[in-house]
Chain A
């Protein structure tokens, strides 16, 4: 897991690319909203800074083409910043195009390229801004500034941690005459203090006697210094240490905004702690501090907590074996511990969560390109971009979403002409929305286009032999036909979405991350694809059962009911095929023993799980015994091995043994196979 970077340079480069990704995301965000407030100078400034940071870093790494392009972009932005040009829809489009180019260049360098040829059209488009109108401000010199070359303006590591809190100190200082004898001067101390922060010095002359009593070699003055500094107290004390015993100083920390009189107290006894709630500490103004951590460290943390959960299970199973009751002292401690571990696990899993923004922003580009290719006008609206999703899911979400967005524009949204005929706004609306609902993440892709036409889908499905003519399907079933392999309603293959990759691939890739898709559509008004995703893939809730003497886990969300299996009620429905009554109907039966390669003996099978898949198909899955219901840490089998049939993943039980987690889709696949063999028999 831990990758040691043998080459430090590689690590630094990686940080630069991470930083670029961040800057590009920010750029995208600012650019998409720039059109709404073209007068907002702060936006242009932010945009400028993003480009500038990328340029600075690129210069430090000698990525010439990136420097060149970002410099040009920056120069153009500078003209907007200075007011020589003003922002309009066209310039925003150009900027977005440039951002995409920047993205491509960065991606090329990230993948090891040494150069990148920028499309001259984009360059020309940019350059025209450089020469438009009378230049008010001299264009920037073509040379890259020195500080850029040394990467000074580029901060390679962005770690925001709490800034040291500023503290107030009161220092009361008296001086022995030896100080002056050694040639030292109290001024040195004052200058040093001055350098640490804001100081306010008062000299107390109360101790100065009347003139007749003055001894010229004595020091009668007391200095009272009020210092506001962010430096730790130790640094403060160090200044006085230099002078040894010659300076007698009493340093007292003060609560914020203590009254000035306090400082004037000759002997600064610790002041009454008067909290000053109305005063805002500068630290509090930061909304949230972040630390950048290598994702592998968090992955490691997730793994370790997984092991903790497994150990916890081991303790509990040992307790049960030794008949230690749950309400004993040990039992209570263990239960409390379990709760803590559970919380710890949830917290660490959220650490690995990313806002869905990262995926949504990439889609901005997809929307622009698709709109350009299809000649349609599309406005993209993003909602709930801050919804957090586990990184492992997010990674696999990008491709299907890209495809669905393309589809929505290509097939869903009509062109301007048809839209105005239908009395709609010429500009199509594409809304991407993410939110949490009952422990799952919902992502919606909504367009206000033509909507799905059930009749046309039905016809097409008959034509493509996906269904038989006359087959009765309800509306939802018809909609879900578009996810069938080989289905495409558009006759000619378009540039955009008709590349032979259909919605079936979308569905498959979503299934890999336990995602489900629902369609809501209304003819003429638009379509909404709603994707429901789990929050994490690393923990599942499951039921552990026994079959053929081995332990297995079935995910709880696939089990709609658990009933006692009565062998006498099972009836023969063909060679090795059985049916079982359930409520007011009958289910097909699959025995756990069958898929494990043996024959059910008809005696040990005692439990029937009613298993359900996302299409609401049900089956009876017969096992020997239920052991427990618990949360299981999911282990990927492909990490060290490869995909295996029946089980997509595994978990580790309290006793340290591995138990496989049943792949419910596989079970339904088995059911299908049985159905097919039945058909063959008929033939």
Chain B
């Protein structure tokens, strides 16, 4: 069974497959650059590598007042590593993709694009994040 890292953006929970997670760090301010897309906070230095930092809450369309950032999750897709700021890292859960429920029809386009489906864990509801589309969106 695959494992997933569960994290929160505001009061919503999301998960990402653990195999894509490279590192988790405390949130720190990134070096901004001009003409960056609004969801890119800038770049950060992780042991000598220059890595972009993306505001995931903004990409997922989480309400602005709830976008508290406390941690950065560094994810790897193919050769690139991108850092994503999140509110909190909660726990690690078992996932079975077959049990994912599809998103409600009225979900935002971004949410539909970046998520594989919803996983129910007791009364918790976790959006599973599709890493490759997340990267595609971040690199635009």
Report which A residues bind B (CB closer than 8 A). Answer: 303-304, 306-307, 310, 550, 595-597, 633, 635-637, 639-642, 644-647, 650, 652, 656-660
Contacts and interface: CB of A to CB of B under 8 A. Distances in A.
A303 B43 contact: no
A657 B31 contact: yes
Contacts of A660: 31, 33
B125 interface: no
B82 interface: yes
B48 A652 contact: yes
A307 B43 contact: no
B44 to A, nearest CB: 7
B80 A640 contact: yes
Nearest to A650: B50
Contacts of B31: 550, 650, 657-660
A454 B27 CA distance: 60
Contacts of B33: 644, 646-647, 660
Contacts of B51: 640-641
B81 A646 contact: no
B124 interface: no
Interface in B90-104: none
A641 B52 contact: yes
A642 B49 CA distance: 14
A34 to B, nearest CB: 43
Nearest to A305: B48
Contacts of A637: 43, 50
Given A303-B48, A310-B48, A640-B81, A645 B43 contact: no
B44 A658 contact: yes
Contact of B43 (A310, A633, A656, A658): A658
A646 B139 contact: no
Nearest to A594: B34
Contacts of A656: 45
B14 to A, nearest CB: 22
User: Main SS of the interface on chain A?
Assistant: mixed
Given A597-B34, A645-B34, A658 B48 contact: no
Nearest to B32: A550
B35 A635 contact: no
A646 B35 contact: yes
A552 to B, nearest CB: 10
A91 to B, nearest CB: 47
Nearest to B54: A641
Given A597-B35, A637-B43, 15 more contacts: A550-B32, A595-B34, A596-B34, A635-B48, A636-B50, A639-B50, A641-B43, A641-B50, A642-B139, A644-B35, A645-B34, A656-B45, A658-B30, A658-B31, A658-B42
A639 B45 CA distance: 13
A118 to B, nearest CB: 36
B36 interface: yes
A330 to B, nearest CB: 25
B35 A640 contact: no
Interface string B76-88: 0001111000000
A635 B34 contact: no
Nearest to B82: A640
A57 B102 CA distance: 53
Contacts, number: 66
B34 A307 contact: no
Contacts of A640: 49-52, 80-82
Interface string B41-77: 0111101111110000000000000000000000000
Contacts of A310: 48
- Leading 6 A-B pairs by shortest Cβ distance: A658-B31, A641-B52, A307-B48, A635-B50, A652-B45, A640-B51
B132 to A, nearest CB: 15
Given A637-B43, A641-B80, A641-B139, A646 B34 contact: yes
Contact of B49 (A550, A595, A597, A639): A639
A42 B123 CA distance: 82
A650 B44 CA distance: 11
Contacts of A642: 139
B138 to A, nearest CB: 9
Contacts of A550: 31-32
B49 A635 contact: yes
Given A640-B80, A640-B82, A652 B34 contact: no
A351 to B, nearest CB: 18
24 contacts: A304-B48, A306-B48, A307-B47, A310-B48, A550-B31, A596-B34, A597-B34, A597-B35, A633-B48, A635-B48, A639-B50, A639-B79, A640-B80, A640-B81, A640-B82, A641-B43, A641-B50, A641-B51, A641-B52, A641-B82, A650-B31, A650-B43, A652-B50, A658-B45
Interface string B7-51: 000000000000000000000001111111000001111011111
Contacts of B36: 644
B109 to A, nearest CB: 22
Contacts of B47: 307
A641 B36 CA distance: 11
Contacts of B35: 597, 644-646
Nearest to B52: A641
B50 A658 contact: yes
B130 to A, nearest CB: 19
A642 B47 CA distance: 19
A635 B49 CA distance: 7
A140 B26 CA distance: 71
A13 to B, nearest CB: 22
Nearest to B44: A658
Contacts of A646: 33-35
Contacts of B81: 640
B110 to A, nearest CB: 20
A103 to B, nearest CB: 29
Contacts of B79: 639
B32 A657 contact: no
Nearest to B50: A635
A647 B33 CA distance: 9
A596 B51 CA distance: 20
Contacts of A596: 34
Nearest to B36: A644
Most A CB atoms within 10 A — which of B45, B47, B51?
B45
A530 to B, nearest CB: 34
Contacts of B80: 639-641
Nearest to A652: B45
Contacts of B32: 550
B49 to A, nearest CB: 7
A657 B45 contact: yes
Nearest to A638: B80
Contacts of A644: 33, 35-36
